[in-house]
Chains A and B, each alone.
Chain A
Amino acid sequence: MTGALSVTAPVAAQVTAIEASLLAFVVLTALATAFARDVLAAVIIFGAYSLGMAALYVFYRAPDVALTEAAISAGVTTVLLLLTLAKTTRIDHEAAFESVNYPAAGAAAFLFVGLLLTMDAIPAIGSPNAPVWSNPDVTQWYLAETYAQVHVENTVMGVLAAFRGFDTFGEAIVVFAGGIAALIVLRREVFA
């Protein structure tokens, strides 16, 4: 965990105490979710993971994302996973943790190192030189023009519902299609 952050010294120096502790929490919960042998325990720990992620999103000033994480992950995903578990058989386990599959772990480590090597090319969080921020035609334009053009204070919602409205329509249809797909997979013709 700290190894991941101290690849380059400047990055490590910029990580504040709150970021370091929240990142440690998130990584630990993610690992525990992956290795927990009991599925119910994994679902519960995954709920804890979403708690850490929401706090991290808030710290990075993304309250819309944090709100989505809170509503979907804590409210909906846990409940739907529990309902699915209620329909399955429990296997009794001796061990608390899953045994490690070494070829899979090797592949994951390979991917991890590969992704780590690209980290130097990624701009630091909050850097004013990051392309997405400094480009005057995208982010700066939206920040300057959203209120003038669509009269809402929340730029995220302005982009979602107005400037990228057709994409949002597609997303809404994806959600709708997801419901229908669940009906087909579970071979029902009514929801309730």
Chain B
Amino acid sequence: MTLVDATLVAGYTVADVLLYAAAGFAVLAIGMLYRAVKGPTMQDRVLAVNVLGTNTVVILGLLAAALGEPTFLDVALVYALLNFLMAIAISKFTVERGGVL
């Protein structure tokens, strides 16, 4: 029996708690989506997507731990690296609408 299968309280295992934590982060992501949709400026949206990306990395990490599959962390790493690319791409695009690329 591994750590994620250990029972904490009332029949809930560590894996269950991790999954509920991931669900909580997903709910927070919906809250941040409001800023990405509403704006009003592009900088708001860039920041919102950047935070969403970090949030997703946390969700992926929690899922990897809860499902007991360490290789799923590869996806989280890729997202951490490429979220940075998305952030710099959009933020440099907002200067003169792509004029400085």
* A residues neighboring B (CB under 8 Å): 16-18, 20-22, 24-25, 28-29, 32, 36, 40-41, 44-45, 47-48, 51-52, 54-55, 58-59, 61, 63, 66-67, 70-71, 74-75, 78-79, 82-83, 85-87, 90, 96
Contacts and interface: CB of A to CB of B under 8 A. Distances in A.
Interface string B63-99: 1100101011011001100110110011001100111
A55 B63 CA distance: 8
22 contacts: A16-B23, A18-B22, A18-B26, A21-B23, A22-B23, A24-B26, A32-B37, A36-B37, A41-B37, A44-B42, A44-B46, A44-B49, A45-B37, A45-B45, A54-B60, A58-B60, A66-B72, A70-B79, A74-B79, A75-B85, A78-B89, A78-B90
Interface in B12-28: 19-20, 22-24, 26-27
Given A41-B39, A54-B60, A63 B23 contact: no
Main secondary structure of the interface of B (DSSP, over half): helix
A28 B30 contact: yes
Given A48-B36, A63-B71, A96-B38, A25 B79 contact: no
Contacts of A63: 69, 71-72, 74-75
A16 B19 CA distance: 9
B90 A17 contact: no
Interface of B: 19-20, 22-24, 26-27, 29-30, 33, 36-39, 42, 45-46, 48-49, 52-53, 55-56, 59-60, 63-64, 67, 69, 71-72, 74-75, 78-79, 82-83, 85-86, 89-90, 93-94, 97-99, 101
